[in-house]
Structure 1
Amino acid sequence: MNEPEQRTSEVCLPFVLPGAAIARENAAGWSRWRTTRHTFTPAPSLSLQEFRRLSPRRRTLHDLHRSATHANLVIQETPMSAAVTRLMWSRIRSNALKHKPTTRAGLMISGGGYQGKTETACEVAAAFEDQWLALHHQLNPDAVPGTRDLLATVAYVQTPVTATPKSVCEAVLDFYGADHRKMTLPQLVHAVRTSLYDHATKVLILDDITRLKMHREADQDALDLVRSLMSMHVTVVLIGVGIPQSGLLREGRHDPRTGAWTFSSTRRGKSYNDEAATQTERRFDLVTLDPFRYDTPQQIAAWVNHLAGIEDQLRLLRAQPGMLTDGPMPEYLFRRTSGIVGLLERLIEDGAAHAIDTGEERLSVDLLDTIDITLANPVGPARTLEETPAVPAKQASSPGRSRGKARNTVFDDRGSPASASATRGMS
């Protein structure tokens, strides 16, 4: 067996095919995702000559491994996600170390669709849980003697599409696998409180919170319930698309000095309200995860640096250094994706698959021009219209491509005509 074939055979067996789908919306699925999220091994980087020396079977396996690598690109930190990470990590750690029985401040993460809000928040929460469990030797320090309560430092819950106080409580209890059949709303709230305490939960993430529509009374009551969860000694993290425009903050007051939103006591709706919580103002920090911008040298450099990180992960046989970062490619990719990391990942993933299938084995403007970004069937939970970003229209960029109807230039100002003397002087 030659050297390239040996290098490929070392990682070609268990690398590709995924196991059962991981659902982070339950404790077992979250734990499995947390402990395996960094275990994928990318395909080895081979040159075209090394690839040609492989046997036909090894070539097929290597192509499969390369496809899996491109489908599992590592999520890179961006300047925008780094700001979210710093604030979220600081808030979670500070709240977890509090001894006094006060309401824990929460965090809202806003931004457009496909900008990595969920993955950024989940990665921070998972890293905190890794550290917290190691600190307590993987044991629940508050476990009841004689019991074996499940330790769940982080609870990740999807906001129900049709949200009511009862459905939100049921979604939280479903994470722990707790029975909630035939319970009244006060019983459900009590069960949620008990589950959060018994499982030593420090962080409660409610994703897609902007599915709550404030013109519906049931959704208003559900938001009241979410606010009451802040009195349960957990850090409540709300994630949503366009939170400031959604109406969730309608009852809040923004403090320009601290950047926090202050909520007064609840006075409407029919929801169960924690008496102690309603006497205390609720405080959330609102942080926005924006897409890349392409206006200043610093912003352009950050975009190019992000592309360089993606380029290092690609396993195309004819790839050259600077494939994504030189020439017109950075500006082209920004125009195709508007700087949205999720759209960029979709374009690169589909482009790499097409490059392998066609034997092109590299990415170029011409090749990417043949790729349409479609979000008709996105991977993951179902998304509403507000949660799906608008895909930028693809513009023709090759000289031979049609650019549509020419613009009428009859009324263009071409400047004053040159004088006769000036004309003679030029001749």
Structure 2
Amino acid sequence: MTERPDSAAWLARFVGGRTPPTRETLRGWERWRKSRNDFLPAPRMDATAWRLMSPRKRALHDLHRAATHSNLPVLATPMARKVATRLTTRLKTNWLKQKPTTRAGVMITGGGAQGKTETVCEIAATFQDEWERLGQLTAVAQPGTRDLIAPIAYVQTPVTAKPKSTCKAILNFYGAPITSRMDLPDLVHQVAASLRDHGTRVLVLDDITRLRMHRADDQDTLDLIRALMSMHVTLVLVGVDIPSSGLLREGRFDRPRSQVSFASATSRGAFGLQATQTERRFDLVELDRFRYDTPDQIAAWVQHLSGVEECLRLLRASTEMLTGGTMPEYLHRRTNGVVGLLERLIEDGCEEAMSSGSECLTESLLEGIDIILGNSFDQTSREAPKIPKHNPTSSRRTRNRNGSFDDKGPSSIDAGA
């Protein structure tokens, strides 16, 4: 029996009823990839229809609306489409390559909270979906290994990156056995075997700017990452402000081709691996924030706000709630055009609008909300974005908890109908 999207059983699957998948393991990646579009937003409803519901259905609908605002989709932006075009082209080209040559990699850079990880994971998952539909994932597991095909591997760079810890992070994705007796050459051999046996064609290393080039261990780890390029996988490195991180210090940036070419190694690598004879090449692509300087940039920002507006489920949402009047300029000033900060502000604003009964986002309501990121971002990778200074012109509100199940007495919606 199929569950109704508005039933308590269906909603429980998304509100405390299951653990979100972790993409750092093969099973977690597959679970996320196959379920990433399963969430259905709350149905649209105005205040009149809401009043006609029973108290229990109101509470369930309010909880569904809150879940909708907490799970806003990743919307396509002009900057994300640029990244998607470059990354998809590189993945396809390398996927079809049969020659035993080093595969060119891609570096995705940008500021904090600009959606780099979600954009890259979505592109990689979509690429895998399409190739599965074409029946092109034909890698066969080797004898003695698990029959698990993993064309995409997603790994977070360890906080204190060393060659051994990086190898272990990659092996942990596959659930490969790791013993305390394994030295570095053994770990590198195991990584190469896992990539081969599981048919991995793309290796995503997130938070790559945790590496600090003034540390010997980090330089050795970068050498290992370069050596992985000779294992017939496409390396996708994701990090904050990669050009100024020192990762490219030993390289040469070819501006016309938007590529970084690393000079050929002149000595043996740190793990007994000889560097390839070809230069290490990466496409360097920036996922930028929204700008607000030209008519085209303003139009792109307003279009994005229109997409966000369509995802909201406030009962008294006015026409052009986010795109009319001075609201676009106000939201850009509060978030500096960073999609992650915009999401946080809108999410908290919707919670305040529901709790207060106003059920609409306005500048005066948002004025009382500070953007607080807390520990959401890793400070070691400089991921935390700079939040624009906010000097509210109206009285400051205190952030409210979710009051969906509170008995508030007569609703302000009823009173104002």
For the criterion TM > 0.5, the same-fold answer is yes
Residue 21 of structure 2 is matched in structure 1 by: 22
Residue 169 of structure 2 is matched in structure 1 by: 171
SS at match of 2:281: strand
Q: Deviations over 1:317-355 (max 9, x none)?
A: 010110000011000000000000000000000000010
Cα gap change, 1:21 to 1:223, in 2 (>3 Å): same
The one-letter amino acid paired with 2:92 is R
Cα gap change, 1:333 to 1:18, in 2 (>3 Å): farther
**CA positional deviation for 1:201:** 0.4
**CA positional deviation for 1:264:** 1.1
Q: Deviations over 1:158-189 (max 9, x none)?
A: 00011111111110001000112121111111
Cα gap change, 1:316 to 1:134, in 2 (>3 Å): same
1:247 partnered with 2:246:
yes
**CA positional deviation for 1:148:** 4.3
Given that 2:139 and 2:149 are in contact with CA atoms closer than 8 Å, whether structure 1 keeps it comes out as no
Instruction: Map residues 4-403 of structure 1 onto 2, 5 A cutoff.
Output: 8-9=6-7, 12=11, 14-136=13-135, 140-144=138-142, 148-181=146-179, 182-267=181-266, 271-272=270-271, 274-275=273-274, 277-378=275-376, 382-384=378-380, 386-397=382-393
**CA positional deviation for 1:13:** 5.6
The one-letter amino acid paired with 1:366 is S
Q: Answer with 1 or 2: which has the greater Rg.
A: 1
Residue 413 of structure 2 is matched in structure 1 by: none
Equivalent pairs counted in the alignment come to 391
Cα gap change, 1:212 to 1:385, in 2 (>3 Å): closer
Instruction: Quote the Cα distance in structure 1 between the aligned partners of 2:392 and 2:174.
Output: 51
Given that 1:224 and 1:273 are in contact with CA atoms closer than 8 Å, whether structure 2 keeps it comes out as no
**CA positional deviation for 1:272:** 1.4
Q: Deviations over 1:104-158 (max 9, x none)?
A: 0000000010000000000011011112223337x64333367643111110000
Structure 1: tracts of 5 or more residues without a match: 1-5, 402-427
SS at match of 1:257: helix
SS at match of 1:300: helix
**CA positional deviation for 1:58:** 0.4
Structure 2: tracts of 5 or more residues without a match: 397-417
Cα gap change, 1:246 to 1:297, in 2 (>3 Å): same
Cα gap change, 1:192 to 1:63, in 2 (>3 Å): same
The one-letter amino acid paired with 1:287 is V
Cα gap change, 1:246 to 1:13, in 2 (>3 Å): closer
Instruction: Quote the Cα distance in structure 2 between the aligned partners of 1:220 and 1:147.
Output: 32
Deviates more, 1:352-361 or 1:125-134: 125-134
**CA positional deviation for 1:259:** 1.0
The one-letter amino acid paired with 1:248 is L
How does the TM-score come out when normalised to structure 1?
0.88
Cα gap change, 1:301 to 1:271, in 2 (>3 Å): same
Instruction: Quote the Cα distance in structure 2 between the aligned partners of 1:363 and 1:43.
Output: 18
Given that 2:139 and 2:198 are in contact with CA atoms closer than 8 Å, whether structure 1 keeps it comes out as no
Instruction: Quote the Cα distance in structure 1 between the aligned partners of 2:225 and 2:379.
Output: 21
Given that 2:104 and 2:281 are in contact with CA atoms closer than 8 Å, whether structure 1 keeps it comes out as yes
The one-letter amino acid paired with 2:288 is D
The one-letter amino acid paired with 1:159 is T
Cα gap change, 1:219 to 1:36, in 2 (>3 Å): same
